[in-house]
Amino acid sequence: PAPLPPEREHASALSLLAMLQREGRFLDFVQENVAAFPDADVGAAARIVHEGCRKVVHQYLTLQPVLPQGEGDKVTVPPGFDAQRIRLTGNVAGEPPYGGTLRHHGWVTTEVKFPTVSPAMEPRVLAPAEVELA
């Protein structure tokens, strides 16, 4: 079979971006240059974006921390650890086990519930233009 064009191969990822835009105006927020805006305005916008994006993530993904400990806790990284799940930083020398401080617990998806993307939909359109008629 012929390979799918990139927009079809990645339709579910594009669909996720479209959902984040629809519910949280994610793309509008990250495309805006916020450097000139006062912190209070950026913070107010971030609350709206956060609420909508969080809704999408919770609706379609089940997440859990890679490591159960809290950030700042001391942890031991055992021999044979999964380098895709645990990234070592700082003074990495020698062989495991390694002892260190957890800086971020990481995230892993335990369930994905994306809707099927209809072949009739154009996956590259993340948000249609909106025209208000008078």
Structural domain boundaries of the chain? 1-64+111-126, 67-105
* Per-residue confidence in pLDDT tens, the chain, 134 aa: 889 888 888 898 999 999 999 999 999 999 999 999 999 999 999 999 999 999 999 999 999 999 999 999 999 999 999 999 999 999 999 999 999 999 999 999 999 998 888 889 999 999 999 999 99
Q: What angle is formed at CA 14 by the lines to CA 27 and CA 12, rounded to 5 degrees? A: 145
pLDDT at position 6: 87
Q: Is 47 exposed, middle or buried (0-12, 13-18, 19+ CB in 10 A)?
A: exposed
CB 8 within 8 A of CB 108: no
Q: Smallest Cα–Cα separation from 85: which of 62, 60, 65, 59?
A: 65
The Cα 53–Cα 134 span in angstroms is 31
Residue 24 φ then ψ, to 5°: -125, 0
Q: Against a cut of 0.95, is the pTM above it? A: no
